[in-house]
Amino acid sequence: MPQPEVVVITGASAGAGRATAREFARRGASVGLIARGRDGLEAAKREIEEMGGRALVLPADVSQPQQIQEAAARVESELGPIDIWVNNAMTSVFSPIREMTAEEFRRVTEVNYLGFVNGTLAALKYMLPRDRGVIVHVGSALAYRSIPLQAAYCASKHAILGFFASLRTELMHDHSGVRTVMVQMPALNTPQFGWVKSRLPRKAQPVPPIYQPEVAARAIYHAAHHPEKREYYTAWSVVKAIVGNKLVPSYADHYLAKSGYGSQQTSEPEDSSRPDNLWEPVPGDHGAHGSFDARAKTSSLELEAEMYVKWLLAGAALALTGIAWKSLQKKKPRMTEARKIAKAA
């Protein structure tokens, strides 16, 4: 009987990481759950066990390399060899740059960028000697197109993209069986908008269109099992942001200067005294979804096209073959008639 897949997910206590843990678990995987917040980790473990799976709670801060190395060692010892590592943990600060502190920039960079580096190094330690495994980097359209009020987050996603490209080319050079892939996400309905540090006058929101975290989870699962593709663009909004920035970056600058502040805030005033998770986790189980269920999409046509592009191309080829065959059949009687006339002559 084949052993269940062993997957490690950082940022697994809430949001896209929580949804991804469920996605792997319902397909039979054993899941190592890494995050700072124990409440959310324990709740995620219960969900996985209710599905009949196995889960290992690993409270750790991804910015601390020793903690991540120890978490990986526990997974190897208690769940088995790591097949897939998903780098997903993140934090952010909603704030104009002029009001940010150097410490805040450093913290976001340590969690988002160095957290991915630390996770990758922990995974490679076990994957390279076995010459197999997949490392998934959860990215964003903001890895290509920065927006106002999230400079630290955008910069960290740009850094992750650069790190990923270097890692991929090195693995290719070494003809390694270890693969890596990046999944670029759209705006997601996760709890982050209610717990990240914010200096905005109104409550933060994802820039519409908004997608449910389960869309992200399906993309991550698919990418982990089809890492031959370099990147996955999870929604049409991601494609527009990336391609638009390549074609008309100056226009995008002017557009975001006008719309980027309002599109990231609701009409409700922010509570400046609420807790945030920049330095410490916010207690409690926050689940996968944020407060935008009524506005969030549950599917993405772009993702479906990316996942089933081979089938779509095969279908298109069959359709074209059918059209060509019908056209040929219509021409046959005329060709036969022409031959009869030629023979009689």
Q: Nearest-5° angle of CA 5, CA 11, CA 12?
A: 50
| Residues acting as catalytic residues | 153
Return d(Cα 345, Cα 337) in angstroms, integer: 13
Task: Label residues 30-42 b or e (16+ Cβ within 10 Å = b).
Answer: bbbbbbbbebbbb
CA distances from 50 to 22, 45, 271 (A): 10, 9, 36
The token pair at 193 is 């908008």
Strands 265-269 and 210-211: unpaired
In DSSP notation, 103-119 reads HHHHHHHHHHHHHHHHH
Assess contact for 156 and 92: CB atoms under 8 A: no
Nearest one of 248, 247, 235, 242 to 297, comparing CA atoms: 235
- Is the four-CA dihedral 147, 247, 188, 178 of positive or negative sign? negative
- Looking at the chain, how many residues does it have? 345
Report the alpha-carbon distance of residue 26 to residue 23 in Å, rounded: 6
Contact 87, 138 (CB under 8 A): yes
- 9: helix, strand or coil: strand
Q: Can you say how many angstroms the Cα of residue 340 is from the centroid of all Cα atoms in its chain?
A: 65
CA dist., res. 296 & res. 222, Å (int)? 21
